[in-house]
A and B are shown apart, each in its own frame.
Chain A
């Protein structure tokens, strides 16, 4: 019976792989890159528009410029549409919209019934291309932006994680927000909101010709804005995630929470996407971390050790360092590499269950950040362990403690 079923399953697998949505790519004359993942199973269309952020988009001393620009855009008029009109029109058509801002870029995600796809993309285009920032909103939004940040940092754990962030440009500070003027907002908008920086991923119930027509009609008129006004002072490129730079041990008051030691390591410059993908699979589940835990967040490795009864915060930091060193020294074996490679290849088919994961994967590929199966097969154990050693280099780690003041050894 088993022997009879296996070929059936395998045949089914082959059929399924053949039926997976294939990425179709095209670009508009203005430079906007588009990827279509066609799937007509349900009358639903999803869209993801990504605008890449680059080091230097946030000038030094202007932390929070990105979030403030987005707040201002959401609350300003676009053409003859008021902000409330947008909300009403999105909702009248049942269009779901979310917007996120992360170190890699700005992303809008839409989901709409297929009959409302024109309206969904049209409204997004209005918001992106026709918004005129209202200077009268600046003071109010500056305050609201800071209050939101303060509430977010109420949790000591969030405050610790923020303090370790190697790229703090997107985290508003009071001084940073205070330094932002209307010119800064306009410069940021002009620099970032360009079709050449954008990638649009479409998923769902639309064909290639339909997609081309839709994108051309809604975003075809998007042109690179006039050169941004000059910077008031010589611009210094903000520190990137990739700059190796150790920082002193940060200490955050725990306010009733038990002590915690945390280390963050950003991926090193030049780490291949394939090595990064495999290390992201291998590191979090590695029992060598015990009793600490490790996870990969936005591409950064975050190792955490929580207190057990009798732990001293100073010792906790030392113990966490020891775990990091142990993993670094031991490295991975050929068997680990083979297993991780097989898991990575298999995971690609699991992505077909989640449209968001499929779109994220298509975006990574379009941005040149995707790992390729061919290069994955060519990755050697030496490459993998060299990547690990650079990633866990003590000089690149940022460390922090959630604890009351106590003499502690420096990282």
Chain B
């Protein structure tokens, strides 16, 4: 009974204070786009989010990276020349020329790699490209505050996720109609004047960041699934992508029937709806084409392990395949994360960092890389000085077992519930976070009301439900473990480093599963080290010859 009292108090407290989303007003525009509006009378500005369902997971392989490119090239800024129909024609011609020359330069570079002795057209082509780009640049607005939203005191950002493309804007209230008109124009013209810059930046980013632990884990835990795809493996396709391909893709992917408009701010539905209808409601609906059919991976694929030498510091990543956002157990798993890593007094910081001292950092993340389809719950831990990954892994699994088997103390439950409640209040209080929460609920769960249902269900959720979900999903058959150790290349001689690079590139062309790929590379290196230096150098040349020029 003594234990029951704080628990009841906590539950009742949650009943009394739990915030509601009932202020959300929903409408459909004439072309099928959804509108969610939250009126905040005290605000002199508005936050608007356009959410396009789809995202990286629905990209065809040939268009891998298209959502990232649309986020940066289409929604990264708001340039006058992209919205002015008169300027568009001249710009289109220059963009067309630039596209042709970029492709010619790419092909010439490939030809040069195949036959370095052949006379090169590259300098001439590059000079042409430079001239065309200079002409193109001359057509772009040169004012320091050229961005139309920045000039009105606004802010803009876009994010590509596995499940959706989010385009956020914040502007003063009197710019609302301007925003509606601008977004409508943007989606009609799909001008993409900064396409080549955006692509170059994305390619540079992917090339520079090198292999990533989380990408490796995703690939091993979700083999063959779009959620497990690594964009860095599709660089040649990304280099060959044309602006016309991206535009054609955007017409389908950014169609109104895939769009939800979320507006939070000092606007009433009566005032905003006619304006929205007039501009965004008039966007044409493009033929949808075939809906992407995404494969399903059984959660109990078996306990998988990957060991890789990446980065500078050791790291342990464990991913459990978990259900999609719409599954009833999803909320219980969120509460499990709160109990394990919700703050400095949560279980992993207290036991693994403070008491045992085996970990330096511990975080848990839900829905990696997305929540619309079954994804991963990922634990990311760094060992403390003098402790190894094996010890860290044992300690983590010990804590997971405790969560599954031992009763959860009422004070601990109350702490987790109180933190979730404060977080929910902050989400409701901040327009940007509220819009994001509604957009994610719609893109991942198919209905924004999931966000509200989660709040209601939190009131009745008990510790037993969390333990049952932990037993059902955080088990070995759902698990993939990645041990990441300092990069091999750091301590390798140049021949070994080059061999590792070539072996990795060769393996990437033939083996999709990163776990098998890493195994093949380390086994290949081990065997090659038994040969003499001359033999190893000869083998390296033979291996290099097997790579196509674009993969070298």
List residues of A whose CB falls within 8 A of some B CB: 1, 5, 8-10, 12-13, 15-17, 19-21, 39, 41-44, 84, 87-88, 90-96, 111-113, 115, 147, 151, 154, 204, 256-258, 281-283, 285-288, 290, 306, 332, 335-336, 339-340, 342-355
The reply to whether A88 and B415 form a contact with Cβ atoms under 8 Å apart is yes
Tell me how far the C-beta of A164 lies from the nearest C-beta in chain B, rounded to whole angstroms. 20
23 A-B contact pairs sorted by A residue (CB < 8 Å): A10-B174, A12-B173, A16-B173, A43-B425, A96-B422, A96-B423, A147-B385, A258-B204, A283-B144, A285-B145, A287-B141, A287-B143, A288-B142, A343-B145, A343-B151, A343-B153, A345-B153, A346-B154, A346-B172, A346-B175, A350-B155, A350-B172, A353-B45
With contacts A44-B426, A91-B343 taken as known, whether A350 is within 8 angstroms of B153 at the C-beta atoms is yes
With contacts A42-B429, A346-B153 taken as known, whether A19 is within 8 angstroms of B41 at the C-beta atoms is yes
The reply to whether B177 and A111 form a contact with Cβ atoms under 8 Å apart is no
B44, B210, B385, B418 — most chain A CB neighbours (10 Å)? B44
Tell me, yes or no, whether B431 is within 8 Å of chain A by CB: yes
Tell me how far the C-beta of A111 lies from the nearest C-beta in chain B, rounded to whole angstroms. 6
With contacts A39-B42, A287-B140, A349-B45 taken as known, whether A281 is within 8 angstroms of B271 at the C-beta atoms is no
The reply to whether A151 and B17 form a contact with Cβ atoms under 8 Å apart is no
Tell me how far the C-beta of A112 lies from the nearest C-beta in chain B, rounded to whole angstroms. 7
Beyond A343-B151, A346-B172, A350-B172, 11 additional contacts (C-beta under 8 Å) are: A8-B271, A9-B176, A9-B177, A43-B17, A87-B345, A94-B420, A287-B137, A287-B146, A346-B152, A349-B173, A355-B429
With contacts A41-B429, A91-B343, A347-B153 taken as known, whether A353 is within 8 angstroms of B421 at the C-beta atoms is no
A353's partner among B47, B151, B345, B417 (CB-CB below 8 A) is B47
Tell me, yes or no, whether B274 is within 8 Å of chain A by CB: yes
Alpha-carbon separation in the docked complex, A339 to B144 (Å): 9
Tell me how far the C-beta of B110 lies from the nearest C-beta in chain A, rounded to whole angstroms. 14
The reply to whether B208 and A257 form a contact with Cβ atoms under 8 Å apart is yes
The reply to whether B44 and A16 form a contact with Cβ atoms under 8 Å apart is yes
Tell me how far the C-beta of A89 lies from the nearest C-beta in chain B, rounded to whole angstroms. 9
With contacts A87-B345, A306-B204, A353-B45 taken as known, whether A113 is within 8 angstroms of B145 at the C-beta atoms is no
- Residues in B neighbouring A332, C-beta threshold 8 A: 144
With contacts A9-B177, A16-B173, A111-B426 taken as known, whether A352 is within 8 angstroms of B144 at the C-beta atoms is no
The reply to whether A90 and B146 form a contact with Cβ atoms under 8 Å apart is no
Residues 257 to 283 of chain B near chain A (Cβ within 8 Å): 264-268, 271, 274-275
Using CB atoms, name the residue of chain B closest to A289: B144
The reply to whether B267 and A20 form a contact with Cβ atoms under 8 Å apart is no
**Chain B: number of interface residues, binned into ranges:** 35 or more
The reply to whether B173 and A92 form a contact with Cβ atoms under 8 Å apart is no
Alpha-carbon separation in the docked complex, A152 to B43 (Å): 39
- Residues in A neighbouring B250, C-beta threshold 8 A: none
The reply to whether A349 and B172 form a contact with Cβ atoms under 8 Å apart is yes
- Residues in A neighbouring B268, C-beta threshold 8 A: 12
Alpha-carbon separation in the docked complex, A257 to B204 (Å): 10
Using CB atoms, name the residue of chain B closest to A92: B415
Tell me how far the C-beta of A243 lies from the nearest C-beta in chain B, rounded to whole angstroms. 28
The reply to whether B174 and A9 form a contact with Cβ atoms under 8 Å apart is yes
The reply to whether B152 and A94 form a contact with Cβ atoms under 8 Å apart is no
Alpha-carbon separation in the docked complex, A90 to B419 (Å): 9
Tell me, yes or no, whether B170 is within 8 Å of chain A by CB: yes
Using CB atoms, name the residue of chain B closest to A257: B208
- Residues in B neighbouring A349, C-beta threshold 8 A: 44-45, 153, 172-173
Give 10 nearest A-B pairs by CB, closest first. Answer: A346-B153, A94-B418, A347-B153, A94-B422, A349-B44, A16-B266, A87-B345, A87-B344, A286-B144, A16-B44
Alpha-carbon separation in the docked complex, A348 to B171 (Å): 10
- Residues in B neighbouring A347, C-beta threshold 8 A: 153-154
Alpha-carbon separation in the docked complex, A9 to B273 (Å): 12
With contacts A44-B429, A349-B153 taken as known, whether A339 is within 8 angstroms of B143 at the C-beta atoms is yes
- Residues in A neighbouring B264, C-beta threshold 8 A: 353
Alpha-carbon separation in the docked complex, A345 to B426 (Å): 27
Alpha-carbon separation in the docked complex, A336 to B146 (Å): 10
B42's partner among A9, A20, A91, A344 (CB-CB below 8 A) is A20
